[in-house]
Structure formats: C-alpha cells, structure tokens
Structure 1
Amino acid sequence: MTTHHSSSAATSGGAAVPARPDPAAGRAVHATDRAHVFHSWSAQGKIDPPAVAGAEGSSFWDYEGKRYLDFTSGLVFTNIGYAHPKVVAAIQEQAAKMCTFAPAFAIEARAEAARLIAERTPGDLDKIFFTNGGADAVEHAIRMARVHTGRPKVLSAYRSYHGGTEQAINLTGDPRRWASDTGTAGVVHFHAPHLYRTQFYAQTEEEECERALAHLEQTLVYEGPHTVAAVILETIPGTAGIMMPPPGYLAGVRALCDKYGLVFVLDEVMAGFGRTGTWFAADLYDAVPDLMTFAKGVNSGYVPLGGVAISEKIAATFEDRPYPGGLTYSGHPLACGAAVATLQVMAEEGIVEHAAHLGEHVIGPALRDMAERHPSIGEVRGTGVFWALDLVRDRETREPLVPYNATGPDNAPMADFAAAAKRNGLWPFVNMNRTHVVPPCTITEAELKEGLEVLDEALTAADAHTTAALGGAGA
C-alpha cells in the first residue's frame, strides 16, 4: 500500500501543529470574521466559527494548538488531503507561468485537465465544459439538456443536494431549497430508492428497485414525458445520506430515459474522483449518463473548479448551434493546473485504490462492529471513504435520533454527539440524524483507526438518547 503524504513534524495523527500556539491571533481572526464575513446557510448571530490556523494531510488545528482529525474533508472535497506538496508546487508553477487567461483561448493547463478528466469518465463523456464549482456545473448541465431536447421540466429526487444557485437549489430535495423554491422552476421531485426508510413498503432491495422505477415511470407519465428534458440523480446521494442505489436501479433509470427520449444526468460532485474507491461512483454501477457534473475532488478544492462531462450526442447539438452559456473563469488556468497535478498525484500514489482498501478493510468492518455495540446506530452504509451512520432513537421503529430538519433543543442528541467527538480531537460530519465518515482518501490507516476510536467513544453520547437508555423498548 502506498504511503501517503504527511509532515515530518507529525503528531501521532500525522499532521504538523504549530510549535507556538497564538491564542491572541486566533481571537483577532475570529473577531474580524464576525465583523465582516457573512456565512453560508447560517443565522449569522447564532454561529461561532472556529478560527483555523493551519491544515495538512488529514488534520487541521486552531490557534490554541489543538489538532482535529478531519472526518469531513472540508465539505467532502479534500480528497488528497490538505496541502499536498506536489499540488501546492504545481499551483505555484502555474501562477508563475500563466495565472489567468480568458476562456476563449486554447491554454495548456485547460486542455490537459480536460484530457485527463475525459480519460477517466465512463463511456463517451469526452467533452468537458468547465465551471467554477458544482452548483454551476448542475446549472449548465440542465441548460444543455433543455436546449438539446427543447423541453422544460427536470425530475430530481427528494433526498438530494445539487447546489445553492437558482436552478440547482430548486433541483435539491432537502429543506435548504424551501426558502427559494417558488414551484415554478420546472422541477418535479420523486422518491429515489432507500430501503432502510422505504417509501414503497419494500422488504428487499429487488422490491425497492422495482417499485422505485415504477414510481419514477408513473411520475413521468403523469407529467407528460414530452415535457421532460432530463432526470438528474446523485449517483450516490452525498449530504442526503450516502444511500447506495440498489443493483439495477441506475440501469433502469438509463432505460427509462432512453424509452422517453430524456437526458440522463449524474451528479458526481461529491462522489467523484476516488471518493467511492473508483474514479467515479458510476463505475460501480455500469451506468453511463449523457451528462455528468463534477467539482470538489477534481483538484481537492485547492482552487475552485467544476464542470460538465458531455456525451457525443449532446455535444453534437452544439456543433453548429452556439451553446447559450459561459463563465468568465471557465477553465481558469490556476484551477486547471491544480486539477492536472491532482489527477497525476492520484494515479502516481494509488489514491483511488487506497480509498477502496480503506473502505473494504478498515472503515466498513469498524462501523459494522460499532453497530453491534451502539443502540443508536440504525444502519451502516457506504463504500470507499464515503460512509454514513443512520442514527436512531429506536432500532425497531427506526425513529431517527432527531426529527427531520431539527434545530435548537430538538437537535440536542446530535449536538451532544458532535461535541463529544470534537472534545477528543475529531471533527465530525453531521447532517440531521446522521454522521458521515468522509475523511480524505489519503488518510493513513493509523490516522483512520485513531479517528474511528474517537467516533466509537462519541457514539455513547448518542446512545444516551435512545429508548434503550431511557428505559423504553426497541434497542
């Protein structure tokens, strides 16, 4: 197994911490942030963002000198970890050579990034349109589908997240869309399969798959297939819960799209570039879409970059007809230089294979062992370094540990769990009643086992809120 990068001045977890903590500097950074920075998805007066002094490998640290093992990979984007020296050097080299240039020109970094991405995408997704991130990649994929088909509607799943821009937030299924959803964006939502919380009264994966596909086709028929441009799915939904699609589902959606002349769009923004132990999650399911969106792991978030991988038949639409869209920073040389270096590093260091190994031999077995001991764990699901624990109040009823979209006191069980993890140096990914295990793909086995031990201990805080602990039945 390849040894992945970490500092020579490493702590037991593998990342350097500052020799001289500087709490005064941290307080100044925090005060300036609170005075001037407007944060995403937050009530500004109710947040207290930690001041981060540095990050390397799989860890970051604050100005007090406390180190945290990052089980969130930022927002699930630092697939090669923080401050990989080869990518940092490539960014510096590209900045000195050509820091920026307009998108209408052929630029070496842009062309090479597109070539390397196209080499890894499934099927004939060989043309790459670059964006600044995942949300605008989704915006442009939907625009391409609508222009290609001449149809207005798009179908997307309730358990999904596709971005925060105007079209992407309407495509999103989770509650973050509510404040912006006018119901007039041409979006129709449907239920994708999720056996643990089935909408279809299914008992097996086969039943769940069959009934979910029937539901999708019924939705299409009721909407009028001639009005629908595309179906968009996260190959494996990320923030919504890392629900692995049952065998045959994505192939079934592909068949429905072919039957009704729809564009099949897969969103690989979070799942792509090694996260699932394959280059793309689609590789696990032998499902080739017409359009595929990407971002995050394409360059580990070192410089903002996203894009759409385009099939031959969609690209042909725009051979003589101008594509009605573009971005000032499409294929920004600095971002593309970072992508080239990232993809080269991933290949050289066997990072995709390493992610697969960790999932099969370390994360999966450890989480399933925890499930035997913690009554708060309802289900373990995932692959590679892309896992979720569905936390419950009662295993028999599968009642979530906290209510859907809980805030304030209702969210106390999850807040208690997160606080317990942070006290012991683990920064957890928490969403609703779930915690996700999504560290960098480069995390070492020693670091991973350290973090899993902290996670194991922190879950006792969640266990305290179960019916078993509170004297009820169902553990």
Structure 2
Amino acid sequence: MTPHADPEAGAAVKAADRAHVFHSWSAQAAIDPLAVAGAEGSYFWDYDGHRYLDFSSQLVNTNIGHQHPKVVAAIQEQAGRLTTLAPGFAVDVRSEAARLIAELTPGDLNKIFFTNAGAEAVENAVRMARLHTGRPKVLSTYRSYHGATAAAINLTGDPRRWASDTATAGVVHFWGPFLYRSPFHATTEEEECERALKHLDDLIAFEGPQSIAAIILETVVGTAGILVPPPGYLAGVREICDRYGIVFILDEVMAGFGRTGAWFAADHWGVTPDLLTFAKGVNSGYVPLGGVAISEKIAETFATRPYPGGLTYSGHVLACASAVATINAMREEKVVENAAEIGEKVIGPELRDIAERHPCVGDVRGRGVFWAVELVKDKATREPLVPYNAAGADNAPMAEFAAACKRRGLWPFVNMNRTHVVPACTITESEAKEGLAILDEALTVTDAYCA
C-alpha cells in the first residue's frame, strides 16, 4: 500500500490523543506521539506521507509483520462466527491454539493457561510456582523486564521497577551473565558462565533454598540489553533448580515465536523449564494474548486442587483465532527459518562491519532478528555513551541518534545507551540492508561524542 498525505486528518488524530489518551511510561506533557495512518509488512506511515521501516517491531511483537492477510482474515472470519465466550467453555479455536502452542514448546509443557499479555503470564507463573512449592521467594536478574503488574514489576530488574518496589514482594535479584560488562571480572564465556552459576548458587545458599519457590529468567534478555546466555548457563540453572526443588521459569514473552531464529529461544540450548511464559509473537499482537505453558508435574498440583486464578478474557476467541492463523502462517511461510537466516547472513555480519567503522559502537550481540548495538564514549574503557537511566540533556546523544534515524525513514528501538535491531521475523534481505544502511549513517551523529 502506498501512503498518501492527509495532514488535516493527522492533526485531528493528534489533537484527540493529546486531549484524552494517557500514555504509559511517560511524563504526559513531555511527549509528542506520532499519528500513524497505516502499516503493512515491515513498514508503517504517518499522515504526512512519511514511511518508516519498523526496526522496533512496535514493542518487539509484530513478528509476522503488519497486517498479515492470513491473520487479518482469520480475525474477521472468527468475528463473524463467534466473538467471545467465557473461559470455562471448550471452544474450537481456544483448544486448537493451545494444542499448537503445546506442540511447539519444549519437553512436557503440554498445558496452556491463557492470559491477555506477558505481564499477566508472569504473574500467574509465579503464583503457580509458589503454590506448587509452598515457598515464598522468587529470584530474578537485575538486567531484566518481566512486566508492569504487581509481581512482574517487582521481578523486573531495570529502573522501571524503582517507583513501585516496596521491598516486600518476596523477590531477590541477582546478576546474570553479561560478558561485555561482566560483574564477575570474567574474560571468556566459559569463565562468565562458571562464575555466574557460582554466584547464583551462593545466593541460594545464603537466602535459604527451602524458602525459594522459583527462579525466573528471560531466556535471552530483551529490553535490558539482548543478552544471549553463554553456553551451559541455562543448563546450569536447570541443574541448580533440580537440586533444590526450585521451579525454573523461562520468560519467552519477547524471545519466543521466531524472534531468535527458533520457535522458542530455549530450543537453542535444549533446556526445558517447568513453566514458560509467552505473549507478543504468539499472534504478533494483533489481538492481546499471552499465556503460561505448564509442565506435567505442576499441572498435576492442580488436578484436584483448584487453581486460584483466572481472567475474564482468558483464551479470548478472537485472540486465539489470530494465534492459530499466525502459527500456521509462520510454518507455511518458513518465517522462523527466515529470521534465523537474516540474522546469520545479513544482520550479524553487517552489524559487525558497522562496529568496525564507528568509534561509538562498543559491542554488537544477538541472533535471529534480536540484536543490540551498545554505544560507548570510548571502546577501551567501555564507558556508556549516556549514563545509566539517563534523561533530559544527559540523554541527548541517544535522542539525536533516534531523530537521525527517523529523518531517514527508519523507526529505531532505543533504550539507554543501546539501539536494538529487532525488525519483523518476515523482513526481507533487501529491507534489512536498507535499515542497516540508515543505521550506519545515523551513527555518525553519535561518533561525534566518542573519544
């Protein structure tokens, strides 16, 4: 679809937004939301006719791209047949969505509890773990994001937690592996893995393993840096959990459904958790949907004992219909394979070349269509380009970089001192190269701030 300009309509949309919409994570007077007129595939456009290549996948969720015709048609067809039904009923599309998801998850995760989003999935996974073990504490890493509901925001490790953290949620944070900024003074992936596991094991000993219900990890950390775990780390956490009777939860809300070039990121390391949370890519966010995939031993806990949790829209039929269509389309069109190939042959090599050309690029990391470019003031010292959780004038270099991308027709995902390269899993080679060329140009802005 070719965008056409209609500035008057855009102004009306913007005015209504400013009058009535309260935006998340924002000081309302300090934001200027773009009025979007439409989207298709890897692009969206505004009312002035400016088209943007979406290197953010919105919030890293439109894995199958914008307006995929098979998914749109499935939602329309389902709306014409049955729009909603309470969670207590057996419904064909709900059952089929659960079957397809269970078919893709690792190991024996064969039961699916549906939620409306990832935060609710995490919330319920933690509740299940606490009830299954009878223990109160949950461990999570500092570099993490698990959602904004009561338990999920306390599990979160990034600064979005601070305003809501009352230190009473039974959450203990620890350091996960991150070789580029190793908290363990490691110099190799092997050292980082070994020392990170020792740190976790020591923490458990001092917290009391008998008090710990669960350890929750993002399989590949998303918003907090796209941190790919070193070989052996997830298997090591699995062993620790088994040793102490702790429930192992993998948060695949962002990493799942093709993002890393596998259906679930856990597949890369052959690790099966006890609970796995998902959302976002399960239907590319076309209708809100999330859930928890549950192992047999935890499902058995609630075979005769009622599970004390539920949602009015759990397994909403429109959402489930879109999930069925999304999974089937991804299989038919080899979308997961495309994500793996684009990452290996295009994004990874191009980003490594970009890192060589720009003094501001300290590190690139990722796999599939899930990458981070870490920007620094000095490659030798690795000082971040902007301070941790920078705002206002302190964040000027990153704001200027984002503006430079947008002027050139690229919509970036920028967080702290990083830009993430997270396009749709359906992105073509030519689209990926187009976006990376713009990124390359825009980085000249941040080079000016580097030693």
Report TM bin, short chain.
over 0.9
Give 1:308's aligned amino acid. V
In structure 1, the partner of 2:66 is 82
What is the deviation of 1:17?
A: 2.8
In structure 2, the partner of 1:17 is 2
In structure 1, the partner of 2:227 is 243
Q: Partners in 2 of 1:373 and 1:452 — Cα distance?
A: 13
Normalising by structure 1, report the TM-score.
0.95
In structure 1, the partner of 2:200 is 216
In structure 1, the partner of 2:182 is 198
Give 1:133's aligned amino acid. A
The answer on whether the counterparts of 1:73 and 1:439 sit within 8 Å (CA) in structure 2 is yes
Corresponding residue to 1:336 among 320, 328, 342: 320
Q: Partners in 2 of 1:105 and 1:17 — Cα distance?
A: 43
Equivalent residue pairs, number: 451
Corresponding residue to 2:251 among 267, 280, 285: 267
The answer on whether the counterparts of 1:68 and 1:427 sit within 8 Å (CA) in structure 2 is yes
Structure 1 residue matching 2:164: 3-state secondary structure: coil
Structure 1 residue matching 2:38: 3-state secondary structure: strand
RMSD: 0.5
Give 2:144's aligned amino acid. S
Q: Tell me if 1:254 matches 2:238.
A: yes
The answer on whether the counterparts of 1:17 and 1:61 sit within 8 Å (CA) in structure 2 is no
Structure 2 residue matching 1:447: 3-state secondary structure: helix
Corresponding residue to 1:400 among 381, 384, 406: 384
In structure 2, the partner of 1:323 is 307
The answer on whether the counterparts of 1:145 and 1:230 sit within 8 Å (CA) in structure 2 is yes
Deviations 1:294-344 (CA, angstroms, capped at 9, x unpaired):
000000000000000000000010001000100000000000000000000
In structure 1, the partner of 2:274 is 290
Q: Partners in 2 of 1:312 and 1:345 — Cα distance?
A: 29
Q: Partners in 2 of 1:161 and 1:404 — Cα distance?
A: 15
Q: Partners in 2 of 1:302 and 1:418 — Cα distance?
A: 26
In structure 1, the partner of 2:354 is 370
Q: Partners in 1 of 2:188 and 2:76 — Cα distance?
A: 52
Corresponding residue to 2:80 among 85, 96, 113: 96
Q: Partners in 1 of 2:429 and 2:352 — Cα distance?
A: 17
Alignment map for 1:304-453 (pairs within 5 Å):
304-453=288-437
Q: Partners in 2 of 1:51 and 1:399 — Cα distance?
A: 36
Deviations 1:3-48 (CA, angstroms, capped at 9, x unpaired):
xxxxxxxxxxxxx233x41101101100100000000000001000
Give 2:426's aligned amino acid. T
Deviations 1:372-403 (CA, angstroms, capped at 9, x unpaired):
10011101100000000011010000000000
The answer on whether the counterparts of 1:228 and 1:262 sit within 8 Å (CA) in structure 2 is yes
What is the deviation of 1:151?
A: 0.3
Unaligned runs of 5+ in 1: 1-15, 468-475
Q: Partners in 2 of 1:379 and 1:259 — Cα distance?
A: 35
Structure 2 residue matching 1:86: 3-state secondary structure: helix
Give 1:193's aligned amino acid. P
The answer on whether the counterparts of 1:276 and 1:356 sit within 8 Å (CA) in structure 2 is yes
Q: Tell me if 1:120 matches 2:104.
A: yes
Identity of aligned residues (%): 74
Structure 2 residue matching 1:178: 3-state secondary structure: helix
In structure 2, the partner of 1:473 is none
What is the deviation of 1:446?
A: 1.1
Deviations 1:392-433 (CA, angstroms, capped at 9, x unpaired):
010000000000000001001101111110000000000000
Give 1:157's aligned amino acid. T
Q: Tell me if 1:170 matches 2:154.
A: yes
Give 1:82's aligned amino acid. H
The answer on whether the counterparts of 1:250 and 1:287 sit within 8 Å (CA) in structure 2 is yes
Give 2:314's aligned amino acid. S
Alignment map for 1:138-149 (pairs within 5 Å):
138-149=122-133
Give 1:112's aligned amino acid. E
Structure 2 residue matching 1:173: 3-state secondary structure: coil
The answer on whether the counterparts of 1:133 and 1:295 sit within 8 Å (CA) in structure 2 is yes
Corresponding residue to 2:212 among 228, 231, 246: 228
Give 1:141's aligned amino acid. A
Corresponding residue to 1:207 among 175, 181, 191: 191
In structure 1, the partner of 2:40 is 56
Deviations 1:78-101 (CA, angstroms, capped at 9, x unpaired):
000000001000000011111100
Q: Partners in 1 of 2:381 and 2:2 — Cα distance?
A: 45
What is the deviation of 1:447?
A: 1.0
Structure 2 residue matching 1:193: 3-state secondary structure: coil
What is the deviation of 1:286?
A: 1.0
Q: Partners in 1 of 2:319 and 2:335 — Cα distance?
A: 20
What is the deviation of 1:448?
A: 1.0
Corresponding residue to 1:155 among 139, 142, 147: 139
The answer on whether the counterparts of 1:133 and 1:304 sit within 8 Å (CA) in structure 2 is yes
In structure 1, the partner of 2:16 is 32
Q: Partners in 2 of 1:449 and 1:212 — Cα distance?
A: 36
What is the deviation of 1:444?
A: 1.1
Deviations 1:141-181 (CA, angstroms, capped at 9, x unpaired):
00000000000000000000000101000000000000000
Unaligned runs of 5+ in 2: none
